[in-house]
Structures are given as C-alpha cells and as structure tokens.
A = this chain, B = another copy of it.
Amino acid sequence: MSESEALALEVCGQPIGLGEWLSGAGPESDIVMSTRVRLARNVVEFPFPNRIEGDRQGDLEQFLRDGIAAAPFPDQAPSYLDLDQAPSLDRQCLVERHLISKDHASARGRRGVAIEPAATLSIMVNEEDHLRLQVLRSGFLLDEAWAQIEAADRALEEKLNYAFSPELGYLTSCPTNVGTGLRISVMLHLPALVMTKRIEKVFHAGTNVNLAVRGFYGEGTEALGDFYQISNQVTLGQSELGILQSMAEQVPLIIRYERNMREKLITENRLGLEDRVWRALGLLERARLTTSQEAMGYLSVIRMGIHLGFLDSIPISLVNELFIQTQPGHLQKRAGEALETSVRDELRAAYIRERLAGVL
C-alpha cells in the first residue's frame, strides 16, 4: 500500500492509514471484506447530543476529547481530528474510508473523531451519541474485533462515567441502540448470488433472523460492487455475546451460499465466467472515462476472479484499495481540489489504469 500512503490523511500531524480492513488478509476474505463492531456510549455529565445547545456542545466536545486523551488504550493511542475545522474533502475521505458516518461529516458544530494510526479503531465524538467506538477489521473476525473494542471501551471507562441503567443497560440517544449499544456489521462480497439472482433470498432470510442488509456505505446506500453489509438489528434484551453468537451462526450460512453459487457458475459455464472477469479487467485497463459505479462493478467482478484463481498477478489488496481510492472524495483529495463529475471520471479511469499497469 505504498502509493496509498501518499494520500494518507493527517490527523494532528499523524498519518492515518487507508485501513487494515482493505488488506484482504483476514479470514474468509474471498467473501467477507470486513467485520465492523460499534459501541454507542454516553457520559452522565451532559445531555445527549441532540438535546445540547450553544456553548455546552463545545464544553462536551472538550470533555470527551480530554477523556480520550487520558484513557489508557492498550495499543497506540488515537489522534483527534476536529471535524468542525477539517476541510470538507477530508471529511468526505473519512466517510469513504468508513471511519465516520455521512451525518457526522455533514453535521455542523463542535464534533470530532479520534483515529488510531492503523485506522482499525475510531471514536466519533458528538455524533448521535457522545461516543461511537468502532473497530473495523479485514475478513470475518468477530472475536478479535470484539476483544479490541472491549479493551478500548474499558480504557475509556476508566476516565469517563458512562450513562448506564442496571435495568436497560447503556443509555443511548436513540432507543434502538439502548442496552448493549452494540452493532456488528459484516461486509460481504456476493457477486455470485447477485449473478444467479439469489440475493433477494438472502435479504429475506436475513430479515427473518433480525439481520439488516445494507449497501457499501451503510444505511440507505446502494449495494455498490455487489457488497452487502449484514448487521444485527436488536441491541436490547440480548447480551453482547448473544449478538456475537448470532452473527457467528448466520454469516457462515451466507458465505457457504455464495461459495456454492460460485461453484455452480464455474461448473455450468466456466468460460463465460472467465470471459466476464477478463472483460472487466480489459475495460478498466483501457477506459478513458469511468464512473464510480462502473468502477465498483468491474472491480467487484475482478475481485471474484482473483479469488476464483482466474487472475493471479493482481493483489487482492490493490483491488480492495481501489474501491476506496476511486471514490469521489479520494480522487479530489489526490487532485487537491474540488472537481466536476466529468473530470473525476477522467481521473478515475487514469488512476485505475496506472495502478493496474503497475501489477500487470
């Protein structure tokens, strides 16, 4: 990821990596892009963010920021970024890297995010809740992600008084997060289920076991590049371990279903599938104008092709990285200015060509 480092965002002079979750090194990486664990936390000294006004918002931000700075994190301490002061392009890049929410990027007022250098741990400050802790890791890695976020949570709890009810659990701004405040999201790459028109069945089955299915950029976003985020919907009345257990049971069923469909496609029409993969590569190698959606579509097919053994010289980490580097914010950040769509399409095509030429 040497080239990506060149675009590393700086947070308090500290470079922030593109994200370990793009390495493609985690378990079941052929189908599971990433595992994300999130905890919603609030402190007792202040009202919830949506009920806070004027100077108190600034006081709250400083209070939380001090708490984060003082907390004894077991790994490298996160650096803090004041989002009220950060340029709009930087905020957009953080959204594209899945480090902050779209709402947090576009909101006004005193708010921020603390990010650990490898970008596996991030903490949004003054989003919907006072604190939103997130651990984002490569592949299907529930236990490790959970252990990492639990350790960060404990470190913060040493310096902050969490709002907690013995009856309800952790209190949150929105009732849907009360209890554990835990949301686990697994980003799955399901091109074969899409090609074989089985993806609706997955949604249906997911809803039946209280799993939500969302797109590449979470709630309300499209399933770009055949990526689907599966997450738990219930945070109350279940223990953290219960939620983990439920994901540990359900996700492998989808993984197996996608693997079966890939095998079916190969058995029934291997050459047709190879043709599709190679054409996607040919188009990305040569196109002069590429939309974001088109890039994600072709990268998705190439990603599958690599895992099926059709393409062997392209590192999976490069393809994963391109999903992010070709997003509008990253393209503009690289150019150093805001650009029109048509110029972005040109730069996107050129960037993909250059990166592919480096490995082919």
The residues in A between 253 and 308 inclusive whose CB is less than 8 angstroms from any CB of B are: 271-272, 274-275, 278-279, 281-289
Taken together, the copies of this chain in the complex come to 2
Docked-complex contact B285 and A286, CB < 8 angstroms: yes
Docked-complex contact B282 and A349, CB < 8 angstroms: no
Please judge, given known A-B contacts A271-B346, A275-B349, whether A285 and B288 are in contact too, CB under 8 Å. no
The residues in A between 137 and 163 inclusive whose CB is less than 8 angstroms from any CB of B are: none
Query: Out of B272, B282, B346, which one reaches A286, CB within 8 Å?
Result: B282
Docked-complex contact B283 and A279, CB < 8 angstroms: yes
Report chain B residues within 8 Å CB of A289.
Answer: 271-272, 275
Report chain B residues within 8 Å CB of A278.
Answer: 286-288
In the bound assembly, the distance between CA atoms of A334 and B271 in angstroms comes to 21
In the bound assembly, the distance between CA atoms of A283 and B282 in angstroms comes to 5
Query: Out of B274, B275, B281, B286, which one reaches A279, CB within 8 Å?
Result: B286
Nearest neighbor of A272 in chain B, beta-carbon distance = B289
Docked-complex contact A285 and B282, CB < 8 angstroms: yes
In the bound assembly, the distance between CA atoms of A350 and B300 in angstroms comes to 24
In the bound assembly, the distance between CA atoms of A237 and B289 in angstroms comes to 55
Nearest neighbor of A284 in chain B, beta-carbon distance = B282
The residues in A between 101 and 149 inclusive whose CB is less than 8 angstroms from any CB of B are: none
Min CB distance A74 to B, Å, is 48
Min CB distance A314 to B, Å, is 13
Min CB distance A14 to B, Å, is 39
Report chain B residues within 8 Å CB of A282.
Answer: 281-287
List 26 interface pairs A-B (beta carbons < 8 Å), by A numbering.
A271-B288, A271-B289, A271-B346, A272-B289, A274-B288, A275-B287, A275-B288, A275-B289, A275-B349, A278-B286, A278-B287, A278-B288, A279-B283, A279-B286, A279-B287, A281-B282, A281-B286, A282-B282, A282-B283, A282-B284, A282-B285, A282-B286, A282-B287, A283-B283, A285-B285, A285-B286
Given A282-B287, A283-B283, A285-B285, 19 further pairs, Cβ under 8 A: A271-B288, A271-B289, A275-B287, A275-B288, A275-B289, A275-B349, A278-B286, A278-B287, A278-B288, A279-B286, A279-B287, A281-B282, A281-B286, A282-B282, A282-B283, A282-B284, A282-B285, A282-B286, A285-B286
